[in-house]
Amino acid sequence: MSVIYLIDGIGILRGPVELQEVPGIGIQLPSNAVALSDQLPEPDSGHTWVLIDTQAKQLADHRGTVYSTADRSEQHYELLGDLPEDLTPVAPPSEFHEWLSGAWVLNQDAVTKDARDRAKATRDGRLSYATTRIAPLQDAVDLDEATTTEVEQLRLWKLYRVQLNRIEQQVGFPAQIDWPVAPADGE
């Protein structure tokens, strides 16, 4: 007795299935079906059964989400068989990983560059704010209109700005930064 499998649009064998007998005709095998002599075992993990040259064979099944080993981009893959070398089913753990020798490897230089860039952006934002605070205090000094408190505030804000500008000289930069504390406004 044969075992019937349906063949889907991409060649995957689905089943086994039972076909209904048509009275007076018998069992009709549709064009998208095949009769095999034995029932197929469960496919190996990550594989599926397909019909190739009238023979049932297992092919790797990576359909779904895969990742580019060149740029970490997520892609939808719909073909059966082994993946091309530039694709992997393994998601990159972070934006700082790169594909080397068949695995995602952390690129420490990229991590350090990102930390440095973020630290500089934070520093630049704080420098901008400090410059905004310094400008009117400097105006008061330049016009001989500054109070003692304003002169001291100007000194503290300038000192803060100098300290901000030196964060790259700290041991441990950019992984560890001892950020200077901004002067309190109006004290």
104-147: pLDDT as tens digits: 999 999 999 999 999 999 999 999 999 999 999 999 999 999 99
One domain for residues 117 and 163: yes
Strand order in the sheet with 3-7: 13-17, 3-7, 33-36
In a domain, 145, yes or no: yes
One domain for residues 8 and 54: yes
In a domain, 186, yes or no: no
One domain for residues 51 and 76: no
38-93: pLDDT as tens digits: 999 999 999 999 999 889 999 999 999 999 999 999 999 999 999 999 999 999 99
For residue 115, the enclosing domain spans 109-169
Domain boundary among 81, 104, 127: 104
Tally of domains within the chain? 3
HEC assignment per residue over 113-180: HHHHHHHHHHHHHHHHHHHHHHHHHHHHHHCCCCCHHHHHHHHHHHHHHHHHHCHHHCCCCCCCCCCC
111: exposed, middle or buried (Cβ count in 10 Å: 0-12, 13-18, 19+) = middle
In a domain, 183, yes or no: no
